[in-house]
Amino acid sequence: MTLAVEARDLHRTYHLRRGLGGGRTLIHAVSGVSLRVEHGAVLGLVGESGCGKSTLARHMLGIESPSVGDVLIDGQPVTALSRLKRARKVQIVFQDPMSSLNPRKSVLSILTLPLRIHGIGDRWERERRALKMMEHVGLPRRLLQSRPTNLSGGQRQRVAIARALMVRPEILICDEPTSALDVSVQAQILNLLQDLRAEFGLTYILISHNLAVIKHMAQRVAVMYLGKIVEENETAALFANPRHPYTRALLDSILTPEPTKGVPETGLGITFPNPAAPPPGCRFHPRCPDVMAVCAAEAPPTVACERGFVECHLYDQNAGATASKERHRIRSMTHAE
Amino acid sequence: MSRLLEVGDLRVKIPTSEGPLYPVRSVSFAVDKGEILCIVGESGCGKSLTSLALVGLLPPRARRSAERLLFAGEDLLRANRRRISDIRGNRIAMIFQDPMSSLNPVYTIGSQLVEVFVRHHGGGRAASRARAVELLEKVGIPSPSERLGQFPHQLSGGLRQRVMIAMALMCDPDLLIADEPTTALDVTIQAQVLALLKRLQREFGLAVILITHDLGVVARMADRVLVMYAGEIVEQARTEDLFARPCHPYTQGLMRCLPGRTDAGRLGTIDGTVPSMIGDLEGCAFAERCQLAFAQCRCGGIALAEAEPGHAYRCLLPPEQSLRHLREAEE
């Protein structure tokens, strides 16, 4: 069976000009990402701002071409597909529907535009499909002629989702779909996304910094740090037994509504990584609470674990005595729990 | 503990072309010294305007009225503008959601920190600079003396928020109003900044009004909580009591919406939308969205009822009844 989305050793660098007449800086937005997403799966992509999540999403949409490597959609390189073909395979929903919907167009016009571009149906057929899709996403018919400015945040996000689904794509990338919404509306949109997945057999790439959302929605989770995937695993396994120190810090930072627990201590330093000059060795080592000598010198190996992998020297079989001691410490800690 | 701030019957009115808008309707609460009070609610519930009204920073057309507004025994309603601006930034400090828009991009961090201190305490630049370095160190910024010469854009979001906190603490305030201070930050940075706030709050004996929409932040930070809906306080309680026994259907609804609480496939939702804030409200503001609403909910004002000492809620139903409904819905 072919995979819905596959990234093969994807690299993307950008040249950033430093002011007038200044030199150029090379930014490594994505450096060596490999991913496999099966049909009908939900992959959660987490990481802090600037770690390359959105750049990766743009490559899956085919609106950026990789410096090195490939993104395959249904087994075909995404850059080899025509624009229209790509649009029928992959669509995206952005964080802020106010800035991704044209404020001067009506809901009807927004929803039928993809059909007009793809030359699907006549005017009546397009309107019929728009109304049908509005029903699917829970928008009342009376909003057909409304403009985005007259809708609530939740309704706008429903329009954005409806627009993305008009050409019946197979894959939907949701880039922070609920970050701009209130919790009560967030719950509605997450429920809707789950219903639509079952109904249309969609594959989701869900980008979010809200780990509770990821845990609720995703089957697999990939954790990104500074352009690399540092850990990937099934959701239950990753949340039960996070291996990479960064994943652990992320999970520790979740503020569950438990009043007795207090504010978590993550043990991360506050130096923010600079993507123009990523640290040598492991990119996380300047902030890592479990840092060892080898971390600054060598890039960490990819170690397979359960049904995923982690990139960290702590789990390296050949990194000498320190590493194995460290491993032992962690194992005994997990046993103690 | 002694009272630091006492607010009685605070109202805000904004004239619009469709009639007067009341984003804050009769809000009363008090803050004790050294206490963290969280105001939680969804967008448009009036939580930010409540805090801005306290310090006279409302938008130009908005009008404030209140029965009582006492800060450290002083009546802020009678204080003139000059007196208010002496208190603001000095005894009452503020930090906002987006540090990039609260810091002036064309001045260095140092000059902005020093400015606050000189404005309120006078004194030489050298003494103010020393104070700035001391505080930057306190908020955990590495190599503080070099940072003084940097501009806001040279810092990361987390560091900028730390600078804002340092600036707020320059004059050793009694009350800190923090409006969504970590909403724009990454989760790991959010945890760090919240931990910092809590540490400083203990160290300086600060009272904090923390405004947030995130119940996770509330649970981990607050001593007491106000839940606001449509400009009103619908529930107030000590934090443990609120989470152990939410009495208002809105609070209960908010808690059911949180992902990760249950392993069930579907999240609870609150259907419907917030009522228009224009004109007077008849009955309970939440009645239209409440699954338990009955005829009486839609007429007359609803007073706060007491569930236990220090725990009040604005609902006609006894909490046992709404809680039973909540449990049934969760099963």
Residues B26-81 have pLDDT tens digits of 999 999 999 999 999 988 899 999 999 999 999 999 999 999 999 999 999 999 99
Considering only CB atoms, which chain A residues are within 8 Å of B198?
Answer: 262-263
A208-217, B92-101, B236-245, B284-293: which has the highest mean pLDDT?
Answer: B236-245
CB-CB under 8 Å, A186 with B191? no
pLDDT of residue B264: 58
Residue B93: phi, psi to the nearest 5? -110, 160
What pLDDT does B262 receive? 61
Q: Do A257 and B258 touch (CB under 8 A)?
A: yes
Q: Do A272 and B195 touch (CB under 8 A)?
A: no
Q: Which residues in chain A have Cβ-Cβ distances shorter than 8 Å to B220?
A: 255, 258-259, 261-264
**With an 8 Å Cβ cutoff, are B267 and A216 in contact?**
yes
Shortest CA gap B108–chain A (Å):
20
Is pLDDT above 50 for A272? yes
Please, which residues bridge with residue A43 across strands? Answer: A205, A220
From A15-19, A60-64, B7-11, B180-184, the region with the lowest mean pLDDT: A15-19
Question: A-chain residues within 8 Å CB-CB of B273?
Answer: 152
With a cut of 90, say whether residue B18 has pLDDT above it: no
CATH number (3.40.50.12780, 3.40.50.720, 3.40.190.10, 3.40.50.300) of B3-227 reads 3.40.50.300
CB contact under 8 A, B257 and A186: yes
pLDDT for A323 beyond 60: no
Partner residue opposite B260 with nearest CB, options A212, A253, A264: A212
Q: What is the ipTM, given to two decimal places?
A: 0.84
Q: Two tokens at B70?
A: 């006492």
Residues from chain A contacting residue B256 (CB–CB below 8 Å): 187
- Closest chain B CA to residue A138: B271
Q: Is the pLDDT of residue A337 over 50?
A: no
From chain B residues 222-241, the ones with a CB under 8 A of any chain A CB are 222, 239-240
Report the Cα A251 to chain-centroid distance in Å: 17
pLDDT score, position A318: 62
Is pLDDT above 50 for A209?
yes
**B192, B181 Cβ separation under 8 angstroms:** no
Per cent of chain B over pLDDT 70 is 98
Q: Distance between CA A100 and CA A152 in Å, rounded?
A: 14
| Residue A320 predicted with pLDDT over 60 | no
Using pLDDT thresholds of 50, 70 and 90, give the confidence band for residue A334.
very low
Q: What is the pTM of this model?
A: 0.88
The mean predicted confidence, pLDDT, of chain B is: 90
Domain boundaries, chain B: 3-227, 246-330
pLDDT at B1: 61
Binary contact (A252, B191; C-beta < 8 A) = yes
Q: Are strands A76-77 and A68-73 parallel, antiparallel or unpaired?
A: antiparallel
With beta carbons under 8 A apart, name residues in chain A contacting B214: 183, 255
CB spacing of B194 vs A254 below 8 angstroms? no
Tell whether A255 lies on the interface with B, counting CB pairs under 8 A.
yes
Q: How far is B268 from chain A (nearest CA, A)?
A: 7
pLDDT tens across A125-154, in order? 999 999 999 999 999 999 999 999 999 889
pLDDT at B263: 60
Q: Which residues of A touch B181 (CB under 8 A)?
A: none
Confidence band of A233 (pLDDT split at 50, 70, 90): very high
Which of the residue ranges A90-99, A283-292, B115-124, B261-270 would you say has the lowest mean pLDDT?
B261-270
Q: Is the pLDDT of residue B228 over 50?
A: yes
How far apart are the C-alpha atoms of B220 and B205, rounded to whole Å? Answer: 18
* Chain B residues with beta carbon closer than 8 angstroms to that of A256: 216, 219, 260
Long-range contacts of A244-248 (CB under 8 A, 24+ apart): A244/A284, A244/A310, A244/A311, A244/A312, A245/A284, A245/A288, A245/A289, A245/A290, A245/A312, A245/A314, A246/A284, A246/A287, A246/A288, A247/A223, A247/A310
Q: How confident is the model at residue A335 (pLDDT cuts 50, 70, 90)?
A: very low
Q: Tell if the CB–CB gap between A215 and B43 is shorter than 8 Å.
A: no
Distance from CA of A284 to the nearest CA of B (A): 14
pLDDT for res B249:
94
| Per-residue model confidence (pLDDT) at position B125 | 85
Assess B80–A contact: CB distance below 8 Å, yes or no: no
Q: Please report, to the nearest 10 degrees, the dihedral formed by the alpha carbons of residues A55, A57, A59, A61 taken in order.
A: -140
Q: What is the pLDDT of residue A321?
A: 44
Q: Judge whether B77 is closer than 8 Å to chain A, CB to CB.
A: no
CB contact under 8 Å between A187 and B269, yes or no, is yes
| Residue A157 vs residues A125, A151, B124: alpha-carbon distances, Å | 24, 10, 54
Q: What is the mean pLDDT of chain A?
A: 88
Domains of chain A: 5-218 (3.40.50.300), 223-336 (3.40.50.300)
Mean pLDDT value of segment B131-147? 90
**Cβ B267–A190 below 8 Å, yes or no?**
yes
What is the model's pLDDT at position A116?
Answer: 96
